[in-house]
Chains A and B, each alone.
Chain A
């Protein structure tokens, strides 16, 4: 199946001309990148090249799965051109972060491709889901292209402290005289990135272990269950405090520690709901049929427990934000000068006492994303439940 896909992609049957033009455009862009970068350091040019290639492969793969209508083709060509144009126009500003900027740009384009690909289903989505999707898309775009759209550097001190809102500093400056707007943009990039990585880690670890425990039962269930019980018996906040004090608060250790701690919660849920499914007749039947463990998990259990897991994902994602900001309350979160929304709320929290809304901005940013993600989750839940009303 994948084979045919890629055949379509490279040279395909529907509109070979369009795909050839696209290929040419992308390689032209790679060339531009390369030329631009010859004078800069070699590593950034190699990384830039790598992402441009990655983009072309992913883009074309996606394109092949998009409905081959003239509208779809137009979108693909337009987006690819935009990718090239944005990259060239903003190269100056982006060259300091070639890898993250290129990756971010590619991510935005891929989102757009995905939107085209799933257009049919999207069209039927309720308004709340649309709202959620648009919010998520904006966040992804802002986070991905932060170095391009932020007017200043993340940690750059650009004015006096606590400047008011003005044309130069859209949202004023913070306690050290850094541009608030810039900090919010970078904060989004850091916070959303870390929260997403952590949540995914928690779900891969916890979900998998939970499914295994439920499907295999016996000693696997016992061992996994007991270990998780022990981990959960220690208050997560205290445990995080201890471990982070020992290993130090770097971003990878934050992701790992919170990811593992959250995985225990996911495990519990996954195991609990799977248990309910495992005892149902069709699973017993499958196992009597002699189906393999992996097959049972994938085909019988997973689809049936997905809805509560997805609902949990929406909330876990937001809990990671909260956990991070709670940690920064005790000085253990993401460390300054890196911008993140949690500690931005913390740093400016006193101002709320005097009716200043500055701390509300990062808090509202978190809230908006949470609401958006969970609206999309709701839509998914609704679709998954198979209800028509």
Chain B
């Protein structure tokens, strides 16, 4: 166990390094984008004087490395800074958005992960049956449609025609928990359909990959029922890849849903990030990217810890 503790500490330290490099990369990319903040803000009203005034007031006339160091210094003191565009405290702005994003991800995960894993196990159990093919074809068809298109179809069917759920997820803080769940139902379903096939198929593949192993053969020869073989013998050994896939998809639910946010008008982090990139609002872009990166680093660490716990051999490398 202490070995895991050591690994976690080491990975957290590496995670911080990762965040640092991510911030450098993002900063560099935004600097390289054509156009600058003042020009994007002013649009066609930009004159050299007003652009200069903007840059002077917001300190954008400093050379890039100085700005980066200043930002880093504030950041290390826990100060995310203010949005260039509307001078709002980024920590406050981010707080609400992150909460919304995590809420949506959680609703989607609660539906999608158990469903996908159990469908995967069932498909492995009844492999090559009509059930297997049917589930496969259905989930594959679902992920073949671009996510915004899936969203449109769900809105038309469940929102407009059947009027079961609201067509847009107009949520705000004062709403109650269940009201929020109700309003996020359609985006959550969309995301479920998007990740369902992937998790399901990887679960199925991971299990089937093990079915030819000698120890499974042995279990089969002992006359165990197929269901028992899969649940008791194959599944534990297939856990590592399944956990990996599940965790990666959890990360996707948090960071990869920009389009779903756009279509459902859901005030999450992705929309904020895209808007801020468009306006070159660097502090906001940096803050959002770091939140996303941290999410990824943590989930990744979680996946590795779980994988190791599921396969003790990994703890004792050669």
Contacts and interface: CB of A to CB of B under 8 A. Distances in A.
Contacts of A322: 143-144, 146-147
A308 interface: yes
Contact of A346 (B143, B148, B153): B148
A367 B140 CA distance: 7
Contact of A237 (B22, B145, B258, B307): B258
B143 A370 contact: yes
Interface stretch (B68-76, B179-187, B202-210): B202-210
B201 A234 contact: no
B241 A233 contact: no
A229 B300 contact: yes
B211 A318 contact: no
Contact of B297 (A229, A245, A307, A368): A229
A359 interface: yes
Contact of B18 (A217, A230, A329): A230
Contacts of A386: 212
Given A272-B241, A370-B140, A230 B156 contact: no
B7 to A, nearest CB: 13
Given A234-B25, A246-B29, A387 B208 contact: yes
Contact of A382 (B128, B141, B314): B128
A363 interface: yes
- Residue of B127, B136, B205, B212 ringed by the most chain A CB atoms within 10 A: B205
Interface stretch (B30-38, B56-64, B91-99): B30-38
Interface in A244-285: 245-246, 265, 268-269, 272-273, 275-276, 279, 284
B9 interface: no
A226 B205 contact: no
Contacts of B297: 229, 233
B25 A378 contact: no
Interface secondary structure of B, over-half rule: helix
A242 B317 CA distance: 39
Contacts, number: 182
Interface stretch (B41-49, B82-90, B102-110, B288-296): B288-296
Given A238-B273, A268-B244, A386-B212, A374 B201 contact: yes
Interface in A346-365: 346, 349, 352-353, 359, 363
Nearest to B160: A353
A268 B248 contact: yes
A381 B255 contact: no
Contacts of B143: 315, 318-319, 322, 370
Nearest to A343: B146
B274 interface: yes
Interface string B281-317: 0000000010011001100100000010001011001
B279 to A, nearest CB: 13
B240 interface: yes
Contact of B205 (A234, A311, A371): A311
B149 A345 contact: yes
Contact of A326 (B29, B147, B248): B147
A100 interface: no
Given A226-B18, A276-B240, A385-B208, A234 B292 contact: yes
A235 B259 CA distance: 13
Contacts of A387: 127, 208, 211-212
Contact of A272 (B14, B205, B259, B307): B307
B295 to A, nearest CB: 9
A269 B244 CA distance: 8
A279 B317 contact: yes
B289 A385 contact: no
Nearest to A307: B209
A128 interface: yes
B79 to A, nearest CB: 22
B201 A217 contact: no
A366 interface: yes
B25 A363 contact: no
Contacts of A366: 144-145
Interface string A309-329: 001101100110110011001
Given A269-B244, A315-B201, A284 B318 contact: yes
A16 interface: no
Contacts of A307: 205, 208-209
A330 interface: yes
A342 interface: yes
Contacts of B317: 217, 279
Given A234-B26, A276-B241, 16 more contacts: A229-B14, A230-B21, A233-B22, A233-B297, A237-B256, A243-B29, A245-B34, A272-B244, A279-B313, A284-B318, A325-B146, A329-B146, A366-B144, A370-B141, A371-B137, A375-B133
20 contacts: A230-B18, A232-B296, A233-B22, A233-B293, A234-B289, A238-B273, A238-B289, A241-B274, A275-B314, A311-B205, A318-B144, A329-B146, A345-B145, A349-B148, A352-B156, A353-B152, A370-B143, A371-B136, A378-B136, A387-B208
A-B pairs, 5 with minimum CB distance: A367-B144, A233-B293, A325-B146, A311-B205, A235-B255
